[in-house]
Structure 1
Amino acid sequence: MSARTLSIPPFARLIALAALGGGAFAFFALLLLMPITGWTWNVQEWRPIWETGAENWVSLLTGLLAYLVSAWIWALKPRNVAAILFAASGLMTLLFCFSASGMATALLLSDAQFIALIRGNIIGASGFGIIVTCLFIIYPGQLPRWRTFCTFTVVFFSAWTLLRTFGPYQKFEEVQAITFIEMIAIVAAVIGQIFIARHDPRQRAIAVWLGTATILGAGAFISTVAIPITFNQPPLLVEKYAFAFFLVIYIGLAVGLLRYRLFDLGGWAYTLAFYVSAAILLIALDVALIGLLTLEPGQALGASLLLVALLYLPLRDLIWRRVTRGKRSDETELFHQVLDASLQPSPENRIAAWERLLQNHFQPLDMETSQTTETRLEEEGIALSIPSVGVAPALQIRYPKQGRSLFTPRDCALVEQLVSLMRHADESRHAYDRGVSEERTRIARDIHDNIGAQLMRALHSETPERKDTQIRDTLADLRDVINNAQSPVLPLEEMLADLRAETADRLEPHGIALDWTLESEGALLLSPSFIHALRSLVREAASNTIKHASADRLTVSIRVTELQVQLHIEDNGQGFAIGTVTLGQGLGNMKARVESLGGAFSLEAGSAGARLSASLPREGHIQ
């Protein structure tokens, strides 16, 4: 086969082959319509169709349909050996069917032409058996010593056929015995295929399906015609009617393509057949309108285009929309299942839900872990590799639809979408978990810094009335912590005045004086986060001074500039060695709170006390 032939698009190849088959069909159809007086183009002298014999038209239609299906296969896979053999079997079917119908016009033929048709019928019938036997020797798997079996089949049956078709040992009627023995060979090859595919679900399914169609189709013809004639009995059915049994083979092939992707043909094969059928329908309508309605060619073409536009294309569009709507619905359900899998509470549950999703949708016979890092088809569609997703490992699934199908590029694209959605859902869940963790940390920090400091203040209060007031304030702050909100935004000076009074009250029972200075431009409004930060910093510093500093004075200096709020807190206590101190819960919370607002935090220490400094940006927090 030349490279030039293979470069022709499948559509063009199929159209060319269909035209050749259609031309042969037209020739033999016209031959049947010719009167016994000879060939004529005068339609009025042609014989009526009902006088030409229904069995002859059954034979012609069987040969044409078998040829078109096999031509379709070859047009799509011109390099595939199995597809080539099946296409050749269709050509042989056309040959013996057309030859048989042509023999019905013996009065129009010369003796040489009649003999040629008989020989064509014999060669076509025997050739069909030879080709199908070889097909099952190599497909779907190669039988042991397949070259030897193929060679023996071709040499033995070809020699037998040629010996009985030409030369001194010519015996035309022996074709029935030849096809009977060929049928036995086909059955043996099918059994061999089923045996070698016993561990391969896909090959076994193909062998059983295609073998059953072939045995039923060819076997029905052999049983009703070939076997009775071989044993000198009349056929159980008129031979030309029995030819229709061969359509079972080709109908089985078409169904098998949908179920098992025979010859590795994908779903796009049906798209090609869909548009070719539109072209054939257009031509058929044109011919019918010209012949039956005696319209001018231009009028007939216009009418056929109108019928296709009004009937075929709307029907096709309706079917397509229904099919695609179902697929979109399935995909929507899949996406819901992805989200459910991602939100499972534990890694084990997420892995199980992801694998269950793949199992339910693709129904593979086998699923195992792999090392793949990308989604891709393997082994010509037998397997589909899926990369790892979150905690779920990389997988390879094999034999979809319980071994009745192959994975397609559409499946690959769908899995890529599922993987992408699963990863996005995982990232969203991680972000949610981080948010929950940060919120827990905030609550813990607020409880430690604010609530703890206020409870200590209430603990050291000397008067019951003051203690009750402080406890009520603490409960109010606790509600703010839980609800992640403070009271409405407060003026800076008012909040600092309350904080100064609170701090002085806490320090007074411990004999610690408070020096408080504020440099501010005037009335400024604070955001809730800023309120938390300032309160927490001052409260934690005061608590540390009371518990650890042994100081008698605490200095708080607050300076508000155009860009930031600067806070300095210093005590005159015993100090500490900065290299030996780590940030505990309190100091660590102070530093985290400042930095979360985009500020800076520092702690200095020496023999004369400790100094805490913080700067908080005004932008986004103070109005």
Structure 2
Amino acid sequence: MWSLKTKIAAGLVLVVAYGLLAIGVALSLPGSNVVFATDGDQLVASLPGHRTVTVSAFSDGQRDVPATARLVVEEPDVLPDYAALNTLFATHQWLAASLAQGTLQLRDTQGALHPLTPQPRHLTALPGLFWLQLVCGLAGMMICLLVWVPAQRDIALHSFALTGLSYVLFSSAAAIYSTRDLFIPGQLFMWLSGLNHVGALLFSASLGAFLWNYPRRAPASAWTFAFYAAFAVAIVIDQGQWVATPVAGFHLWVMGIFLLGLLGAAWQGWQTRGHASHRAALRWVVLSIVAGTTFFAGGMILPAILQVALPASQGLLFTTFLLMYAGMALGVVRHRLFDLERWWFSLWAWLLGGLLVMLTDLLLAMLLSLSGPITLTLSMALVGWFYFPVRQYVWGKLFLRNQPGLETWLSRALPAMLTAQQAQQDQSGVEQALSAVFRPLVQERLPVRAARCSVQDNGESLHVPDPVGPQTYLLRHAHEGERLFTRHDVEIASLVLSLHELVSQTRTARAEGASEERSRIRRDIHDDLGAKLLHLLHHCADDTKPLVREAIRDLRDLLRNMEGHSLSLEAAASQWHEETARRCADHTVTLQWQEDLAPTMLTASQFSEMTRILREAVSNALKHSATTTLNVTLHCDGEQVSLQVENDGLPASSECGPSRGLDIMTTRAMKLGGHCTHGAIEAGWRVQMQIPLLTQGGT
């Protein structure tokens, strides 16, 4: 059973992880060399060199799309109908794809074209409005977490916690797309907008369920169910676009569910008459909720519903929801909301205690420096440096008495051991595990292997035999010199050795199982699929036989890779030359093959991946461009293999096949520790690959 602090810590880790995920998604959005802004209904662009033009359209050389201020709209659901919303998503999908392909240009009102080049976004480039929305959403979730974890479980608390979850969902999603530079993949835009709608509708439903169940339970559970049923129905209608406009499919549902929730506050007021404490708590809750939601409803929801004025900045309005959660936190202090009592104060003290100590010390230091007494400054320094550590030490010795248990040393030893073994296969990891568990000041290796673990030098050192080599690990001064080694440490060291044996047995069993399964699969493929392909080769038409032979060759390469057999580079080059020549002949393309090879061996993985890279490069040249001549240059200097494929035809930009193939080639080269580049050259296309022979990647 987890302690309260452990649950809170786990929850906070999840909140922080979600925040980092949102930041990562925001950084993944493409930027460009041009800064866009709006001037009324027009889109203006600041070009490199501080020149500003009015954008009339975007072009990829084949298609022009009109440029309007709608492209940089902060919130897409304020558009008049779902058709406009879908058009916006589709336009952004085309813009992002064209920018990534390097074909996007903007056309100004004078008809001049200006190329746009993609640029990565950096952390410092994220605008302040992004951080404001994200931090407010995370802060609201953390407040809900601190209320929900220690409180007694009931429907009101669950609903309140869901408001925090929904708040961080819709605020973080909006933070990403509302602060984009301009470009965002349309699919991602659509998903983020959908997440924003899910969060907003869940927020209204959870808030309504909360108001109907706090401080008194609703007259029937059906009331609570109705709110979440309405949420589900609204999501289906909105995301399925069963109606014509976002107003009917989203905004009216958000407002309607929220107003039904406020009716619950009126019912609570009637039920709590004559009960002073409940009535005071209800007033505080309603005041907090109204303060946190009124601004957003009046500044965003109502203008979108009425279509009478441009909504206010959504990012700024999102921050007002934090007023609701801040009011709830103050209500816990003033009115003991949710019956949290001392646990809530203990948790807040745990989280904020360190911050308050630092702020108090800083304030005192500032005051003392202003007053000038040197002796008082030194006294405060001595108190800060010595009193607090001594007090915590005495408190731990007298009251906590926390001795490292099984989970403590195991949590230190196992990760250190596994990390060492993963970094270097011949490492046992015992040395790293002992260092993590005992934290000695000195750790050495003795050339003679001890018979067993033992404490030496009156507790100053610990001898531990290496389980895989003729040596002994000598550890001196446990816990960085804070204590001596004891017989209990001998038992822990023996357990570390037992842990190593268990890990070794597990790894051996896993390797043996994988090897047996690989052999079985290889036999089944050879016996079944190989036989069927040979049968097909002898009975198929003549024009199909080359394809079947190619499939048989691929099958042999696959089986060779599964067997893990190495191959000389000369033999590999011969196979590559033969296959490439045959494919060029089939497409009436002239092949010019050049090779300069040093004697070397390729692993099965290197041969397999390099074969597929060459095959994909040749496929792109033969299938996706008007190629008449193909030049292949293969070079090896003994340290790396270089492969260059050039053709005299440019790939068609409208086809998605080459782009996927190029990405796959890059991934395969990186798997081998090398790299793959590609690009246009004069009137052709070039693919280059360098693979280091010393890196056995992917084996």
TM range (shorter): 0.3 to 0.5
The structure with the largest helix share of the pair is: 1
Return the TM-score normalized by structure 2: 0.37
Larger Rg: 1
